[in-house]
Chains A and B, each alone.
Chain A
Amino acid sequence: MTAALVGRRLLALALVMLVTSFVVFSAMYLAPGSPESFLARGNSITADTLAAIRAQYHLDDPFLQRYLSWLGGLLTGDFGQSLQFRQPVGGLIASRLTTTLLLIGYASLLILISGVVIGVIAAIRRGVVDAAAVIGTTVAMGTPSFVVAIGLTSLFAVTLGWFPAFGAGEGLLDRLWHLTLPAVALALSSAALIARATRSSMLAELGKEYVETARVRGFSERRLIWRHAFRNAMAPVVTLTGLVVSGLLVTTTLVETAFGLNGMGSLLVQAVNAKDFPVTQAIVLIIVAAFAVSNLVVDLLYPLIDPRERGRAAG
């Protein structure tokens, strides 16, 4: 892990973001239907008003100039004006971000804890328990988040009435209560994936010679599993969890829509439906950036988690 390597990865990240911003901006530029017709809301407007709108949103500038000024704005934290809500995009997204981050954090905890626990149990209790875990995780991995969402809503919100079916709630405890079903819906298939990864990683470690040696030397089974195999088995699992969690940023769109949560994901859906391009551009860029940054962080952290990788990454 050298500084040069980190520098190279950061440069690559900056390049990916530059290309992405260009693709996103030109896609919106090429889209049929002009922003001013949206702003006019179907009313017929005078040529003067139209010219004023076009000037306000810089619609008459050449393409490259508009792109560069938009890019310059992004770098100073200015994402432009929402056409739909008539307020700065940055503030709009910030107001929606709390719910989304809370939901993703909640789901990530569920994924890591339940995934690792189920995976380890399946690996050390071969037989019926293991078979049940394998079948259960196979089905869970094939169940889309929004299908889980409607199943949970039907059972726990409508039939049993234990949890609310809609909304994000007020205050921390109420919020966590409101976000429990959404978090489970968001977490289920990823938790199953982590469980499978943990299971196969643990099985691989437990089958290695050093475990057998330690067993022959009379170490307790508990110590073998937790102090030796578990610690070595977790490195790839942590990496995978990082990738899975960044993927939640996209899936949250579906879960927020299913539960009527006012988060960043449901804002994206609203923005696309309303042809609110500045908001769409900003959210797409934020998600791609978060995706790329978390991939980078996972790659850079890997040698720290697994010392065996240190020499390899540097070489």
Chain B
Amino acid sequence: MATQALPLVRRRWLPRLRGAGWMAASAVAVLAGLVLVALLAPWLAPQDPDAVSLAESLNGPSAAHPLGTDQAGRDVLSRLIWGARISLLGPLGVVVGATLLGVTVGVVAAWRGGWVDAALSRMIELIFAFPGVLLAILLVAVLGAGLDSTVLALAIAYTPYMARITRGVALSERNRPYIRALELQGFAAWGIALRHLIPNIAPFVLAQASLCFGYAMIDLAGLSFLGFGVQPPRSDWGAMISEGQTALLQGMPLSALAPGAAIVTAVVAFSLLGEGIADHVRKAAR
């Protein structure tokens, strides 16, 4: 599988990505940096992110604590670096889940047409009627707060966005002669879909997934801010903002503003990347 996939990526995707412009390129650089920070957290973080030291509560920036300390005397920079992990993994879970579900639904709807398409389309419209964050709050009310409930709920809520775009491009791809030819040669439908159709529509799906990543990050951070997402002692950036609110009101805003800036940076980078890919894919398709 890997031996087949790699040339595919190189042949089909890289040339398309290369022309995506400097905005997208700088977005990729920023995101790569964030992923590196998340991966290297144990080596990058100057302090233990969970080390409570009440004597050092709400200290300003210093050599030992470049971004100061929070209410419990924990090092803000170290918590920010460690928080990158959950803050990036959560949206990744949402987007991977929504993409798997959405691509399946979209391809099946486009391939089968008729009543299957009609039924799946109605279902998608129904989920559209439900705002994502509200669905997550409902699931938290039922299952209790936690990263799993919120990621699961948002994956379902984001499925329509992935399904709609997949169905659209899959419909036009489905009617291409090469698909007909493969069908006539007697290849199984799922085989054609998996090996030929999905790789060909992948750039469209990738563009949409990148846009969704940014929105998922906003939604998950918001849910954590409300206390519905990741639970203490673990924190993502959204939870850090909530923790830092008291300090902010006392005139020590860094422990809340620093994670806020991190969220904005990541979200803007993802939306620039998504738009860059989408622009390029649209141009290439013409």
Residue pair B130, A150 in contact (C-beta under 8 Å): no
Partner of B134, one of A151, A154, A273, A287: A287
A147 part of interface (Cβ distance < 8 Å): yes
Q: Does A144 contact B (CB under 8 A)?
A: yes
The interface stretch among B60-68, B84-92, B97-105, B257-265 is B257-265
B90 to chain A, nearest CB (A): 14
Chain B residues near A24 (CB, 8 Å)?
138
Whole-angstrom distance from the CB of B29 to the nearest CB of chain A?
A: 17
For residue A139, CB closer than 8 A to chain B, the reply is yes
Kindly state whether residue B93 has any CB partner on chain A within 8 Å.
Answer: no
Query: Is the pair A16, B126 in contact by a Cβ cutoff of 8 Å?
Result: yes
The 8 Å CB contact of B138, one of A27, A141, A159, is: A27
A47 part of interface (Cβ distance < 8 Å): no
Would you call A142 and B142 a contact (CB within 8 A)? no
Knowing A142-B214, A142-B271, A291-B131 touch, does A31 contact B251 (C-beta < 8 A)?
Answer: no
Select one of A20, A147, A251, A284 contacting B137, CB under 8 A: A284
By a CB distance below 8 angstroms, the chain B residues around A272 are 137, 140-141, 228
B65 CB, nearest partner CB in chain A, Å: 19
Question: In chain B, residues 247-286, which have Cβ atoms closer than 8 Å to a Cβ of chain A?
Answer: 248-249, 251, 253, 256-257, 260, 263-264, 267-268, 271-272
**A20: chain B residues within 8 A (beta carbon):** 129-130
A292 contacts which of B129, B143, B218, B227 (Cβ < 8 Å)?
Answer: B129
Check B130 against A153 for contact (C-beta < 8 Å): no
Q: Which of A143, A150, A292 contacts B256 (CB 8 A)?
A: A150
Q: Could you give, for residues 107-139 of chain A, a 1 whenever the CB lies within 8 Å of some chain B CB and a 0 otherwise?
A: 000000000000000000000000000000011
Chain A nearest CB, measured from B240 CB (Å): 11
Q: What is the chain A residue whose CB lies nearest that of B140?
A: A272
- Does B59 make an interface contact (CB < 8 A)? no
Is A168 an interface position by the 8 A CB rule?
A: no
Min C-beta distance of A278 to chain B, whole Å: 11
Q: Which A residues are CB-close (under 8 A) to B142?
A: 27-28, 30-31
Residues 134-168 of B at the A interface (beta carbon under 8 Å): 134, 137-144
Do residues B129 and A139 form an inter-chain contact, with CB atoms below 8 A?
A: no
B45 within 8 A of A: no
Residues of the B chain whose Cβ atoms lie less than 8 Å from the Cβ of A253? 133, 137, 226
- The reply on A21 being an interface residue by CB < 8 A is no
Q: Cβ of A147 and Cβ of B226 under 8 Å apart?
A: no
Residue of B nearest to A284 (CB): B138
Q: Are B264 and A31 in contact (CB under 8 A)?
A: no
Size of the chain A interface, CB-CB below 8 angstroms: 48
Q: How many whole Å from A250's CB to the nearest CB in chain B?
A: 5
Which chain A residues lie closer than 8 Å to B267 at the CB level? 142-144
**A residues in contact with B228, CB < 8 Å:** 272
Query: Is B109's beta carbon under 8 Å from chain A?
Result: no
Q: Is A275 an interface residue (CB 8 A)?
A: yes
A288 within 8 Å of B (CB atoms): yes
Say whether A146 faces chain B, with CB atoms less than 8 Å apart: yes
Given A154-B257, A254-B222, A272-B137: A147 and B248 interface contact (C-beta under 8 Å): no
In angstroms, how far is the closest chain B Cβ from the Cβ of A138? 6
Task: Name which residue of chain A comes closest to B133, CB basis.
Answer: A250
Question: Which single residue of chain A is at the shortest CB-CB distance from B237?
Answer: A147
Q: Are A250 and B263 in contact (CB under 8 A)?
A: no
Contact flag A138-B256 (CB < 8 Å), given A24-B138, A257-B225:
no
- Determine the main DSSP class of B at the interface with A: helix
Contact B130 A288 (CB under 8 A): yes
Whether B225 contacts A254 by the Cβ 8 Å rule is yes
Q: Are A147 and B134 in contact (CB under 8 A)?
A: no
> A291 CA to B221 CA in the complex, in Å?
23
Cβ of B226 to closest chain A Cβ, rounded Å? 6
A146 touching B222 in the complex, CB below 8 Å, given contacts A16-B129, A273-B227: yes
> Is A158 in the interface zone, CB < 8 Å from B?
yes
Do B264 and A142 touch (CB < 8 A)? yes
B221: A residues at CB distance < 8 A:
144, 146-147
Chain A residue numbers with a CB within 8 Å of B58 are none
Q: Does A277 contact B (CB under 8 A)?
A: yes
B residues 46-62 touching A (CB-CB < 8 Å):
none
| Residues of B with C-beta under 8 A to A268 | 137
Determine if B268 and A287 form an interchain contact, defined as CB atoms under 8 angstroms apart.
no
Query: A142, B268: Cβ atoms under 8 Å?
Result: yes
Residues of the B chain whose Cβ atoms lie less than 8 Å from the Cβ of A151 = 257, 260
- With beta carbons under 8 angstroms apart, the residue of A27, A146, A271 that contacts B241 is A146
Contact of B251 among A143, A159, A258 (CB under 8 A): A159
B245 within 8 A of A: yes
Q: In angstroms, how far is the closest chain A Cβ from the Cβ of B60?
A: 14
A146 to B220, CA, bound (A): 12
Q: Are A143 and B222 in contact (CB under 8 A)?
A: no
Report chain B residues within 8 Å CB of A277: 141
Which 10 A-B pairs rank lowest in CB-CB distance, beginning with the nearest? A142-B267, A142-B268, A147-B260, A154-B253, A31-B142, A272-B141, A250-B131, A144-B218, A27-B142, A280-B141
* 15 A-B residue pairings within 8 Å (CB atoms): A16-B126, A28-B142, A31-B141, A142-B264, A143-B267, A150-B248, A150-B253, A158-B251, A158-B253, A253-B133, A269-B137, A272-B141, A280-B138, A284-B138, A288-B129
Interface of A toward B, CB cutoff 8 Å: 16, 19-20, 24, 27-28, 30-32, 138-139, 141-147, 150-151, 153-154, 157-159, 165, 247, 249-251, 253-254, 257-258, 268-269, 271-273, 275, 277, 280, 284, 287-288, 291-292, 295
